Structure formats: structure tokens, C-alpha cells
Structure 1
Amino acid sequence: MSFNPLEQRGIPLDRQLRNWRELNVAPIDPDHCDPYTRCRIITMNGIEVEAIMFSHQMARHCPDLAVKQQLARTRYIEAQQQKAVNWLLPGVSSVLETTIAYEQVAVDLTAWVARMEPDSYLQQAYQFGVLEDFDHLYRYANLYEIIEHRKAEKIVDGLTEVMPGRPTPLHHRAPVDNVREPYDKNTVNPLSRLHALTIMSAEQQTMNFYMNTGPTYMEPIARQLYQEIGLIEEEHVTHYESLVDPGESWWEQLVHHEYNECYLYHSFMQQESDPKVKAIWELHLNMELEHLHIAADLMRRYDGREAAEVCAPSLPNVLTFEPNKGYLRELIANQLDLTTLGTGYVREAHERFEAMQEAIHGGEPAPSDQVLAQHDAMIGGDYRLETEGEHPVPELRSAK
């Protein structure tokens, strides 16, 4: 049955405020939860953080006091939602265990979006990025066994394979080559807009997480790996945010943010296996329906347009966390040796790429390669979790 959030009314805003007791949610059990429950939590935390920060940026550019006050009212509820969602994560999990879960999100969320994306240029952007997240998962899994003497299988539960993707040292590119062409807001498929906003928000939260948690480690190799992959996540945010048409008005973007939250809470409510967490998704969906109507009212008043002019007439099929092993193996076989040049993709290691590689690595092994070397020296070989077969890891061919 189709679901149009523009036709649904949620909980009135003046009834959405929660007290401490209501916000004090019980965290999931990391040893017995569905790994994809944890992935949905991490995803929605990123979505809520993006909604909050976008609202702050809009308020900083808005001279109208009444609008700033309305944004503040909704934003405070969004902040409560973010706390409830993120506090579902268990405090007993280490930063590195949470990191591996973050990369499982990046792999299976981006792979699913790439599979479903109707626009070939946008699809290529997701395919390119997911092969790098896939290798990040592999590097962190090796670090996890070095530092905590545990295997990533405990976290990903075999739903996501752990093996090499595009080698992490090759992810460092000239900044100008991380900028893509945006979609056209006048012709874009509404699903593509939701995909772009979702992946941008998730990667942004990963970037923020790494830049803040990386220096909390004492082990030099861990500090170095978080620094390296944190810089790559900055590249990924540049990569994905550039897909969004900058010509969308503030009001249009506000509506898209709220609509996307409705889409994701609705999606996750449909598939959630934990009743306690499902109840939170349902509650937040009913809150977001009202936030969407408030955004639509602001757009009508200040932009002179109806939200229905820029939003899909109904929510698309639910966004689903599920294994993407076959799809990822196909990408590994066909796209592992790609890099970027301008707004496109090439298989040759061009001059700008090689200059960046020399500048960032300085002829020394990257931290991500040092992790593998340390794992080999301490434990023997590298850590992998594969359900079948081995895969060669090709290198970029030199343009010289």
C-alpha cells in the first residue's frame, strides 16, 4: 500500500516534547541484537544529525525572527530524537566495535542504494564509494584483531563480508577530483534525491565520528589509521554532497530533509526485528510527519510553492538493510581499478592522482598498509571473513 507522508498528520509539535525518563531509552544488547538493528540506529543518528545541522545553517542565513523561532522549535525535538536514537547504542561496545558497525552501514546501505538508483551517473558515484568503504571495513577488522584480539565476525555476523576492496592508500585523490556533477532538481527522480541526501548524511556522520574518536586511542597504529580514513571520509562527503543540486532553495531543502526522515523511519519500522526499537521508529515517524507539514507550510508561505511540487507523490519501496555480497563481488571484479578525474572516472593513474599519492604518502607505507603488516607479524596473514572464494586485488595502472 502506498504511503504519502504529505497526506498524513502526525503528533502535534506541542505534544512531542519528552522528559528525561522518556528519553532514557534502554540500549540494545550488542551480543544478541540483529546487526542490522545496529546499522539502522547508526543510519538514523546520521540522518538526525544532518537534520539538526542543516536547520542551524538555515537559521544562520535567515533574517526572519519568526522563521528562526519555528526552526528552533522543530530542531529541539530533532535533537531529542537524535539523543534517543544514538543512545540506543550500548556503552559496553568499544569505539572500534562501533567503528566496524559504522563501516557495515556504509557498505550495505551504499550497496543497496547503488542497486536501486535509477540514474546511471549517480549510481556510478555510489558504486565507486562503496568499494572504498568495503576496504575500510577490512582495515578496521584487522586493527580490531590486533588491539582487542577479537574478530569482526562477532559484529557483522556474516551478513557482510570482510575482505579487500579498492586499497585504502589509493583513496587519496586531488581534492578537485572528488567533486561530482549535481543532479538537476527540475528533472531528478524523487528517489534519487532521497538516495543522495541519505548517503551524504551517513558519510558525514562517519566523518564526524572518526575526527572526534580517532585521537582517543593510545595505540599509535590506531591513531594513524583513524587519521587516514578520516581524511578519506572528508573526500567521501565532498563526493556525495556535490551530487545535490545547489539550486534548491532553503525551503525546498528543508522539505526534502523532513520527507527523507519520514521515508527512512517508515522503512525501518517495516523491517525492524527488535520490538523496543521498532516502537521508537514508529514514534519518530509520527513526529516527523508533523515536522514535514511545518516545513511544507513554511515553503508555501515564503517560497510560494507546494511541497507536493517537489516531493514524490508517495514513499518509494522501503530502504532495506540486507546482504549485498554478490553485488559487491561483481563491483570488485569490474571496478576496483577506477579512480576519478574531474567529475568522471578513469582506469589510469593520471598525473594529479600520482602527485597526490606522492605528497600524502611521501614514499612511506600508509597507516592502512601498516595495519596489515602488523597483523601479519603478530598473528600471521590478514584477517578476512569470506563466505566463498578469494579475490585478487588489482592495482591502478600507471599513466606513464
Structure 2
Amino acid sequence: MSFNPLEHRGIPLDQQVRNWREMNVVPVDPDRADPYTKCRIIAMNGIEVEAIFFSHHFSRVCPDPDIRRQLAQVRYIEQQQQKTVNWLLPGQASPLETTISYEQVAVDLTSWVARMEPDPYLRQAYEFGVLEDFDHLYRYANLYEMIEHRKAEKLVGDLTEIMPGRPTKVEHRDAADNVRDPYDRNRAQPISKLHALTITAAEQQTMNFYMNVGPQYMEPIARQLYQEIGLIEEEHVTHYESLVDPGETWWERLVNHEYNECYMYHSMMETETDPKVKAIWELHLNMELEHLRIACDLMRRHDDREPESILAPELPAPVTFEPNKEFLRDLLSTQIDLTTLGAGYVREAHERFQHMQQQIHGGEEPPSERVIQEHRELFGEDYRHETEGPHPVSDLRVPARR
């Protein structure tokens, strides 16, 4: 059934503040929860954090005190939502276990977006990035078995395979080559704008998570691996955020953010398997409908435009966490040797890439390679979780850069 959030009234803003008892949610069971329930929690935490950051940035450049007060009121509710969502994660889970779930989000959410994206240039951006997150999952899974002596397949189930992607060591690129061309705000389909906001939010939260939990480990290889992959997440945030048209007004951005929150909460509600978590998605959707109404009113008053002129008349098909094994194997067999040059992609190395590789590695093996070497020394082989036959490029090495 189609759902147009502009046609629905949510919970009035003055009724949205919750007390401590209402925010004291029961976390999901770390051993029995559907892996994709944890993925939905992590994804929605990223969406809420992005909404909060955006509101703060908007407030800092807004000269109107009444608008700043309105933003602050909505932002407080967003903060309560973020605390509720993120506190659904189980306290028993180690940071490394949560990291593996973060990478499962990156792999399967980005794969789904790439499959659904109608614009070829934007689709290529998601296809390019997901092969790198796929490799990060593989590196962290090897670290997990080394440190905690458990296999990552217990966390991701048979939903997501664990195997090498584009090697992390060749993901270090000149920063200028991480900037893509933006979509045209006047021509892009509404779903493309939502995709860009969603993946930017997810990657931004991953970057923030790694920069904070990495130093908590004592093992040198763990600290170093978080450092290295954390730097790649910076590249990914730049890569995805640059897809958004910088010509969008602040009011467009505000409305798009609120509409995307409605879209994401509606998607999670439609696909959630845990009844208690589903109830939270439904509650937050009803809150976001009011936030969207407020944003639309602000746009009409201050941007002199109707929100319908930039929004889809109804929500697109729900964002769905589902296996993407065939899709990823196809990418592995066709795009593993891509790198970036300017706003495009090439298969041959270029001077800027070589310079960055020399600067960052300095002739030494990076942590992402050493973690595999150390795993092989301990267990005789690297850790992989393949569910449907041999890896089509399991022995493929990225061609030498020249």
C-alpha cells in the first residue's frame, strides 16, 4: 500500500518528550536476535546522528532566533530518538562484535541501494564503495577470531558472506580523488536524493564509531587496523556526501532529511521481525511525520516553495536488508581493480594514487595485510565464510600499480 507522509499527521511535538522510564528500552539478545535487526538498529542510529549533526550545522549559520529555537526543539526529540535506537544494541556485545555488524550494514545496505539506484553514475559510486566495505568485513572477521576466538559467521549468519574484496591497502587514494560529481537537484529523481542521504549517514556513523572505539583496544594489531580502516571511512564519507547537490537550499536539505527519516522508519517498520523493535520504529515514524510537517511549513515560509515540488508523491519501496551474494560476487569479478581519478574511475594506476600509496605505506605492510598474516600464523589459514561454492576471485590479486 502506498504511503505519502505529507498526508499524515504525526504526534504533536509537545507530546513527544519521553521520560527515563519510556527511554529505558530492552536491548536485543546478542545471540538470538536476527542479524538484520541489529543492522536496522545501526542504520537508524546513523540516520538519527546525521539528522542531529545537520540540525546543528543549520543552526550555526541561521541568523533567525525563532528558527534556531524551532530547530532546537525538534533536535532534542531527535536526540531522544537516537538514544532509544542506539541503546537497543546489547551491552554484552564487544566493540568488535558491533564493528562486524556495522560492516554488515555497510555491505548489505549499500548493495541494496546500488541495485535500486536509477542513475548510472550514482549507482557506480555505490558499487565502488561496497567492495571496500566488503573487504573491511573480512579483515575485522579475521581480527575477531584472533582476539575473541569466535567466528564472525555467528554474528552475520548465512546472510552475508565473508571473503576478500578490493584489498584495503589499495583503498588509500589522494583525497581529491574521493570527490564525486553531485547529482543535479533539479533533475535527480527523489529516490536518488534519499539514497545519497542514507549512505552518507551510514558511513559517517561508521567513521565516528571507529575513531572512538579503536583506541580502546590494547592489542597493537587491533588499534592499528581501526586506524587504517577509519581513514578509509573518511574517504567514503567524502565520496558519498559529494554526491549531494551543494546548490540545495538549507530548506530543501531540511525537508529532504525529514522525509528520509520518515522513509527509513517506515521501511524498518515494514521489514522488522522483532515485535518490540518494530513498535519503536512505528512510534518514531509518527514522531517524524510531525517533524516533516514542521520542516515543510518552514520551507513554504522561507523558501517560497511547496515541498511537493522536490519530494516524491509517495514513499518508494521499503529499504530492505537482504542477502546480496550474487550481486557482490558479480562486482568482485568485474570491478575489483577499479580506482578513482578525479570524479571518475580507472583501472590503471595514476601518479596521484602512487604518490599516496608511497606516503601512507612507506614500503611497509599495512595493518590490513598484517592481520591476515598473523591469522594465518595462528590458524594456518585466513578466516572466510563462503556459503555458495568457491569464491570466483578468491585467488585474484589486484594488478600491480604501475
> What TM-score bracket applies, with the shorter chain setting the length?
over 0.9
1:323-338 residue pairs with structure 2 within 5 A? Answer: 323-338=323-338
The TM-score with structure 1 as length reference comes to 0.99
Match of 1:130 in 2: 130
The Cα shift of 1:307 comes to: 0.8
1:31 and 2:31 aligned: yes
1:376 and 2:380 aligned: no
> What's the RMSD between the two structures over aligned residues?
0.8
1:15-26 residue pairs with structure 2 within 5 A? Answer: 15-26=15-26
Please say if residues 185 and 248 of structure 1, whose CA atoms lie closer than 8 Å, have aligned partners that are also in contact: yes
1:397 and 2:399 aligned: yes
Instruction: List alignment gaps of at least 5 residues for structure 1.
Output: none
Please say if residues 117 and 123 of structure 1, whose CA atoms lie closer than 8 Å, have aligned partners that are also in contact: yes
Please say if residues 164 and 393 of structure 1, whose CA atoms lie closer than 8 Å, have aligned partners that are also in contact: no
The Cα shift of 1:395 comes to: 3.8
Name segments (4+ residues, structure 1) moved above 6 Å: none
Distance 2:350 2:146 in 1: 35
Distance 1:343 1:45 in 2: 30
Distance 1:105 1:23 in 2: 24
Distance 2:30 2:203 in 1: 23
Secondary structure of 2:211's partner?
helix
Letter in 1 for 2:153: E
Secondary structure of 2:345's partner?
strand
Please say if residues 138 and 384 of structure 2, whose CA atoms lie closer than 8 Å, have aligned partners that are also in contact: yes
Please say if residues 348 and 396 of structure 1, whose CA atoms lie closer than 8 Å, have aligned partners that are also in contact: no
Letter in 2 for 1:199: I
Deviations 1:140-195 (A, max 9, x none): 00000000000001100110000000001010000010000000000001000000
The Cα shift of 1:306 comes to: 1.1
The Cα shift of 1:394 comes to: 3.5
Deviations 1:293-332 (A, max 9, x none): 0000011111111111111110000010000000000000
Match of 1:243 in 2: 243
Secondary structure of 1:17's partner?
coil
Instruction: List alignment gaps of at least 5 residues for structure 2.
Output: none
Q: Structure 1's 183 and 48: CA in aligned 2 closer, same or farther, altered over 3 A? A: same
Secondary structure of 1:382's partner?
coil
Distance 1:368 1:158 in 2: 24
Please say if residues 118 and 192 of structure 2, whose CA atoms lie closer than 8 Å, have aligned partners that are also in contact: yes
1:178 and 2:183 aligned: no
Corresponding residue pairs, total: 400
The Cα shift of 1:202 comes to: 0.1
Distance 2:30 2:159 in 1: 15
1:274 and 2:268 aligned: no
Distance 2:318 2:359 in 1: 44
Distance 1:267 1:22 in 2: 23
Secondary structure of 2:90's partner?
coil
Match of 1:163 in 2: 163
Secondary structure of 1:21's partner?
helix
Distance 2:211 2:176 in 1: 22
Match of 1:40 in 2: 40
1:236-385 residue pairs with structure 2 within 5 A? Answer: 236-385=236-385
1:76 and 2:109 aligned: no
The TM-score with structure 2 as length reference comes to 0.99
Match of 1:115 in 2: 115
Please say if residues 336 and 394 of structure 1, whose CA atoms lie closer than 8 Å, have aligned partners that are also in contact: no
Match of 1:214 in 2: 214
Please say if residues 139 and 368 of structure 1, whose CA atoms lie closer than 8 Å, have aligned partners that are also in contact: yes
Distance 1:201 1:178 in 2: 17
Distance 2:79 2:143 in 1: 33
The Cα shift of 1:379 comes to: 1.1
Please say if residues 103 and 137 of structure 1, whose CA atoms lie closer than 8 Å, have aligned partners that are also in contact: yes
The Cα shift of 1:351 comes to: 1.3
Secondary structure of 1:340's partner?
strand
The Cα shift of 1:397 comes to: 3.4
